[in-house]
Amino acid sequence: MSENTDIGHGFVPSGQLQLGVFFQGVNSGTVWKAPESGSQTDFESFRQLAQTAERGLFAAFFLGEGLRLREHQGRPHALDVAGRPDAQTMLAALAAVTNKIGLVATQNTTYNDPAHLAHRLASLDLISGGRAAWNVVTTDNAWTGANFRRGGYLDHADRYVHAEAFVQTAKRIWDSWEAEAISASETAATWSAPDSIRPVQHTGAHYTVDYEPRLPRTAQHRPVLFQAGDSPEGRDFAARQADVIFSAHPGLDAALIFRRDIVARTVAAGRGANEVQIMPASEFILAATPQEAREKQAWVRSLQIGPEQAIAYLEQFWGRELSGYDPDGPLPDIDPVVEETSETRGSGFHGAKARQLADQWRAEALDKGLSIRQFVSGKTSRADATFSGSYTEIADLLARYAAVGAVDGFNISPWLIPTGLDDIVNHLVPELQARGVYPTDYVGTTLREHLGLPLPQRAESSATLSHA
Ligand SMILES: Cc1cc2nc3c(=O)[nH]c(=O)nc-3n(C[C@H](O)[C@H](O)[C@H](O)COP(=O)(O)O)c2cc1C
């Protein structure tokens, strides 16, 4: 790790970590071939994971959003786990079988409408006693738009302009009832105090809102805002609007660079250096000894990236069928299909860079003597996000993150559902507590309290964004 751990701008490391668990649903990293693998859709899997996380004093239980199955060569990706019940419905059910853990729904701003989504999230916040959060995403998946009447629309930059107006409108909806709006006493003339509920109006390019908000403030005033999206526009948006970033930079050096960047953007946006917290996506493969952990990681990887998965991974980049290639042989000598796709269609691999990347990857694999399977094992997004080692080794490493303030915690994607958190809660959490970097109890009842976030200020008027 580099020696320079200074973040600048008066940022002060809290010295503490929080944990979240990300039940991914549709994805390729959850092992479904192990004997212990359970259902991705039964409520029982969600309940078990959420209650295990709560036993481990986790701050938050996350659900992702994918409004369409992931596709591969024009068909649903048959190697992925799939399913994903509606996040808010699932979290409302989990609110009834948990007491403290935060409940985070990933929901996109591109295809939803603000008044509707704000009301549903406020409902989750009320039902859960102030434990709701919204992970704001703009959604880059090419295929999502085809579900909706609007189809694929909005360029990347416009998505964030739209997202900002959306979030500001939602905040104004959540702030629209005064704290004392409900009088409801025997002596009161009216149930709600006169003039205590403000209407919210917004006129923009994509929707017009003229709304009388229907719910009072919640125990934590309004849902906590997470954000996930890594472009400069996404980072600036988070710096202005979010409480916590669900980041894609778990390695220590990368996390420090990301922290510096976010702190600079947050301060430039007129907020305090410590105002936006960071929790990167991560995977933990742990055991009692380093040797056992190495063996376990090799086994997990063999299930995550079997021969078919390795070929399918390359097919996404090559844009063509590669089933004739040997997964234990060298990378394909054939060139990728170069196909120009519009940015509005999303994250699909953009043709212009395909040949360049294929050349680079072939050279890298040749240089390191790697087969397709070995190469892909080191390339998937999980490869950089994996913490593997003995409980004590990893606890020492995480304590270092806390000391330098690289992150505020980790959002863990279990590789096994529903028992994937058991060893973390039973063995890693006590090691972190022993090092003084992890809570020994929940400090309050709301998610805002678990994360040490202050009650929010009233939202600003969105008049300046009336074009969005
Ligand atoms: C860690 C992380 C998690 C994400 N989770 C989701 C998700 O569950 N659903 C979704 O539609 N997009 C998700 N996104 C994608 C964002 O919505 C966004 O569309 C994408 O990152 C492109 O924006 P960007 O160019 O600003 O990164 C996630 C992004 C990151 C970095």
Is 461 marked as a binding-site residue? no
Q: Is pTM, for the whole model, over 0.85?
A: yes
Q: How far is the CA of 247 from the centre of ligand 1 (A)?
A: 9
Nearest to 109 by CA among 198, 22, 234: 234
Q: Are 181 and 198 in contact (CB under 8 A)?
A: no
Question: Which residues surround ligand 1 with Cβ inside 6 Å?
Answer: 64-66, 106, 108, 137-140, 228-231, 233-234, 246, 248, 281
Q: Which of 110, 138, 265 maximizes ligand 1 atoms within 8 Å of its Cβ, making it the mutation to test the pocket?
A: 138
Q: How far is the CA of 160 from the centre of ligand 1 (A)?
A: 12
Nearest to 347 by CA among 144, 149, 76: 144
Sign of CA dihedral 45, 47, 51, 53: positive
CATH architecture of 18-286+382-465: Alpha-Beta Barrel (3.20)
Q: Which atom of ligand 1 is nearest to the CA of 281?
A: 1
pLDDT at residue number 460 = 55
Q: Cα–Cα distance between 308 and 314 in angstroms, integer?
A: 10
**Beta strand 277-287 with 244-247: parallel, antiparallel or unpaired?**
parallel
Q: Which atom of ligand 1 is nearest to the CA of 67?
A: 11
Report phi then psi at 280, rounded to 5: -80, 155
Q: Are 65 and 144 in contact (CB under 8 A)?
A: no
pLDDT at residue number 379 = 83
pLDDT at residue number 339 = 62
Q: In a structure prediction context, what are the per-residue pLDDT tens digits for the chain, which is 468 residues long?
A: 555 788 999 999 999 999 999 999 888 889 999 999 999 999 999 999 999 999 999 999 999 998 888 777 778 888 888 888 999 999 999 999 999 999 999 999 998 999 999 999 999 999 999 999 999 999 876 667 778 877 777 888 889 999 999 999 999 999 999 988 998 888 989 999 889 999 999 998 877 899 999 999 999 999 999 999 999 999 999 999 999 999 999 999 999 999 999 999 999 999 999 999 999 999 999 999 999 999 999 999 999 999 999 999 888 888 888 999 999 999 999 988 866 554 443 344 555 577 888 999 999 999 999 999 999 988 876 778 999 999 999 999 999 999 999 999 999 999 999 999 999 999 999 999 999 999 999 999 999 999 999 998 776 554 444 445
Q: How far is the CA of 229 from the centre of ligand 1 (A)?
A: 5
Q: Cα–Cα distance between 46 and 63 in angstroms, integer?
A: 10
Question: Which residue minimizes the CA distance to atom 9 of ligand 1?
Answer: 65
pLDDT at residue number 343 = 43
Is 160 marked as a binding-site residue? yes
Which tokens belong to 292?
């056992």
Q: How far is the CA of 435 from the centre of ligand 1 (A)?
A: 33
Q: Which atom of ligand 1 is nearest to the CA of 140?
A: 19
Q: How far is the CA of 22 from the centre of ligand 1 (A)?
A: 14
Task: Label residues 418-434 b or e (16+ Cβ within 10 Å = b).
Answer: bbbbbbbbebbbebbee
Is 438 marked as a binding-site residue? no
Q: Which of 69, 111, 139 maximizes ligand 1 atoms within 8 Å of its Cβ, making it the mutation to test the pocket?
A: 139
Q: How far is the CA of 105 from the centre of ligand 1 (A)?
A: 13
424: Cβ–Cβ under 8 A, 6 or more apart, which residues?
A: 19, 56, 284, 286, 412
pLDDT at residue number 155 = 82
Question: Which residue minimizes the CA distance to atom 23 of ligand 1?
Answer: 229
Q: Cα–Cα distance between 400 and 174 in angstroms, integer?
A: 38
Going from N- to C-terminal start, the domains of the chain cover 18-286+382-465, 306-379
Nearest to 337 by CA among 324, 348, 326, 325: 348
Instruction: Enumerate the β-bridge partners of residue 61.
Output: 21, 103
Q: How far is the CA of 137 from the centre of ligand 1 (A)?
A: 6
Q: Cα–Cα distance between 137 and 374 in angstroms, integer?
A: 32
Is 231 marked as a binding-site residue? yes
